[in-house]
Chain A
Amino acid sequence: MKTQILFVLIISFLPVAGQINISGTVQNKNGEPLTGVNIYIEGSYNGASSDRNGIFEFTVPDKGEMNLVASLIGYQTWSKTINATSDVEIIIVLLESVNTLDAVTITAGTFAVEDKKRAAILEPLDIYTTASANGDVMAAMRTMPGAQAANDDGRLLVRGGDAYETKTYIDGLLAAKPYYSKTPDVATRGRFAPSLFEGVMFNTGGYSAEYGQALSSVLVLNSTGVAVENTAGISLMTIGAEANYTKAMKNSSVMGSASYMNMKPFHKLVKSYIDWTKPVEAINLTSTYRYKPSSTGLLKAFATYERGDLAYQVTNGEHEAISIENTGNSSYANVSYRDAIGKKTCFRTGISGTYENDVIVVAGNHIETLNLTMEARFAMVHELSERIVLTYGISDTYTDYQQAIKTPELSYIDFQFTDHTPGTFVEAEIKFSKYVAVRPGIRAEYASLMKRANLAPRLAMAVKTSKNSQFSAAWGRYYQNPENDYLKFNAELDFENATHYIAGWQAGSVKNRLFRAESYYKTYQKLITWEGMNEYYPQNISNSGYGYSTGIDLFWRDRKSIKNLDYWLTYSFVDTERKYRNYPGATTPEFISNHNFSAVGKYWINKISTQIGASYTFASARRYNNPNTGQFMDRRTAWYGDLSLNLSHIFFLGNRYSVLYASVNNVLGRDNVFGYRPSGIADAQGNYTLIPIKQDTKRFFFVGLFLSF
Chain B
Amino acid sequence: MKQIFIITILFFGTLHPMFASDYEQVMAENIQKMYTAQSIDQLTAVANQFERIAAKESDQWLPAYYHAYSYVSILLLNQSMSITEKSPILDKAQSVLDRMKKSFENESEVFALQGLVYQMRISDDGSAYQFSMMADEALTIAEKLNPDNPRAHYLKGCNIFYTPEQFGGGPTKAKPLLEKAQNLFASNQTGNSLLPAWGEEHCAYMLEQCAAK
Binding site for B on A (CB under 8 A): 1, 4-5, 8-9, 12-13, 16, 35-38, 40, 42-49, 51-52, 58-61, 71, 73-74, 101, 116-117, 119, 228-229, 250, 295-296, 511-512, 559-560, 566, 606, 609, 650-652, 655-657
A497 to chain B, nearest CB (A): 41
B37 to chain A, nearest CB (A): 12
Most buried by B among A49, A101, A511: A49
A506 to chain B, nearest CB (A): 19
Q: In the complex the two chains form, what is the Cα distance from A182 to B25 in whole Å?
A: 71
Judge whether B8 is part of the interface by a CB distance below 8 angstroms: yes
- Across the interface, do B166 and A512 meet the contact criterion of CB distance under 8 Å? no
B133 to chain A, nearest CB (A): 10
Judge whether B102 is part of the interface by a CB distance below 8 angstroms: yes
Q: Give every chain A residue within 8 A of B7 (Cβ-Cβ).
A: 5, 8
- Across the interface, do B20 and A5 meet the contact criterion of CB distance under 8 Å? no
Q: In the complex the two chains form, what is the Cα distance from A46 to B20 in whole Å?
A: 9
- 30 of the cross-chain contacts (CB-CB < 8 Å) are A4-B4, A8-B4, A8-B7, A8-B8, A8-B11, A12-B16, A38-B51, A40-B48, A40-B55, A43-B55, A43-B56, A44-B56, A45-B18, A45-B20, A46-B52, A47-B18, A47-B48, A47-B52, A48-B48, A49-B49, A60-B18, A71-B51, A101-B91, A228-B140, A228-B141, A228-B144, A512-B125, A606-B164, A609-B167, A652-B166
Judge whether B179 is part of the interface by a CB distance below 8 angstroms: no
- Across the interface, do A295 and B102 meet the contact criterion of CB distance under 8 Å? yes
- Across the interface, do A49 and B44 meet the contact criterion of CB distance under 8 Å? yes
Q: In the complex the two chains form, what is the Cα distance from A116 to B144 in whole Å?
A: 23
- Across the interface, do A40 and B126 meet the contact criterion of CB distance under 8 Å? no
Most buried by A among B15, B127, B168, B173: B168
B21-49 CB contacts (< 8 Å) to partner A: 21, 26, 41, 44-45, 48-49
B73-122 CB contacts (< 8 Å) to partner A: 88, 91-92, 94-95, 101-103, 105
- Across the interface, do A560 and B11 meet the contact criterion of CB distance under 8 Å? no
**Nearest-CB residue, chain B, relative to A226:** B141
- Across the interface, do B168 and A12 meet the contact criterion of CB distance under 8 Å? no
Q: Give every chain A residue within 8 A of B173 (Cβ-Cβ).
A: 655
With contact pairs A49-B45, A609-B167 given, residues A229 and B126 touching in the complex (Cβ less than 8 Å)? no
**Nearest-CB residue, chain B, relative to A292:** B105
Binding site for A on B (CB under 8 A): 3-4, 7-8, 11-12, 15-16, 18-21, 26, 41, 44-45, 48-49, 51-53, 55-56, 88, 91-92, 94-95, 101-103, 105, 125-127, 130, 134, 137, 140-141, 144, 164, 166-168, 173
Excluding A12-B11, A40-B55, A229-B140, 15 further A-B contacts by CB distance (< 8 Å) are A4-B4, A12-B12, A16-B16, A44-B56, A45-B26, A59-B16, A60-B18, A71-B51, A73-B95, A651-B166, A652-B166, A652-B167, A652-B168, A656-B168, A657-B168
Q: Give every chain A residue within 8 A of B12 (Cβ-Cβ).
A: 12
B157 to chain A, nearest CB (A): 12
With contact pairs A4-B4, A45-B56, A512-B125 given, residues A51 and B166 touching in the complex (Cβ less than 8 Å)? no
Question: Lowest 7 A-B CB distances belong to which pairs?
Answer: A609-B166, A38-B48, A652-B168, A295-B102, A36-B44, A49-B45, A559-B126
**Nearest-CB residue, chain B, relative to A42:** B55
- Across the interface, do B51 and A511 meet the contact criterion of CB distance under 8 Å? no
- Across the interface, do B126 and A511 meet the contact criterion of CB distance under 8 Å? yes
Query: How many A-B residue pairs lie within 8 Å, measured between CB atoms?
Result: 111
Q: In the complex the two chains form, what is the Cα distance from A117 to B90 in whole Å?
A: 12
With contact pairs A36-B48, A73-B91 given, residues A46 and B168 touching in the complex (Cβ less than 8 Å)? no
- Across the interface, do A12 and B8 meet the contact criterion of CB distance under 8 Å? yes
Q: In the complex the two chains form, what is the Cα distance from A89 to B45 in whole Å?
A: 20
B68 to chain A, nearest CB (A): 12
Q: Give every chain A residue within 8 A of B53 (Cβ-Cβ).
A: 45
- Across the interface, do A511 and B44 meet the contact criterion of CB distance under 8 Å? no
- Across the interface, do B92 and A73 meet the contact criterion of CB distance under 8 Å? yes
Q: In the complex the two chains form, what is the Cα distance from A5 to B55 in whole Å?
A: 37
**Nearest-CB residue, chain B, relative to A654:** B168
Q: In the complex the two chains form, what is the Cα distance from A512 to B84 in whole Å?
A: 13
- Across the interface, do B18 and A46 meet the contact criterion of CB distance under 8 Å? yes
Q: In the complex the two chains form, what is the Cα distance from A294 to B191 in whole Å?
A: 32
Q: In the complex the two chains form, what is the Cα distance from A295 to B164 in whole Å?
A: 35
Q: Give every chain A residue within 8 A of B126 (Cβ-Cβ).
A: 511-512, 559-560, 566
Q: In the complex the two chains form, what is the Cα distance from A74 to B49 in whole Å?
A: 18
Q: Give every chain A residue within 8 A of B130 (Cβ-Cβ).
A: 116, 119
With contact pairs A8-B4, A8-B11, A657-B168 given, residues A119 and B52 touching in the complex (Cβ less than 8 Å)? no
**Nearest-CB residue, chain B, relative to A13:** B15
- Across the interface, do B19 and A61 meet the contact criterion of CB distance under 8 Å? yes
Q: In the complex the two chains form, what is the Cα distance from A9 to B55 in whole Å?
A: 33
Q: Give every chain A residue within 8 A of B95 (Cβ-Cβ).
A: 73
Q: Give every chain B residue within 8 A of A566 (Cβ-Cβ).
A: 126
Q: Give every chain B residue within 8 A of A652 (Cβ-Cβ).
A: 166-168
**Nearest-CB residue, chain B, relative to A59:** B18
Q: Give every chain A residue within 8 A of B92 (Cβ-Cβ).
A: 73
**Nearest-CB residue, chain B, relative to A609:** B166
With contact pairs A8-B11, A655-B168 given, residues A295 and B105 touching in the complex (Cβ less than 8 Å)? yes
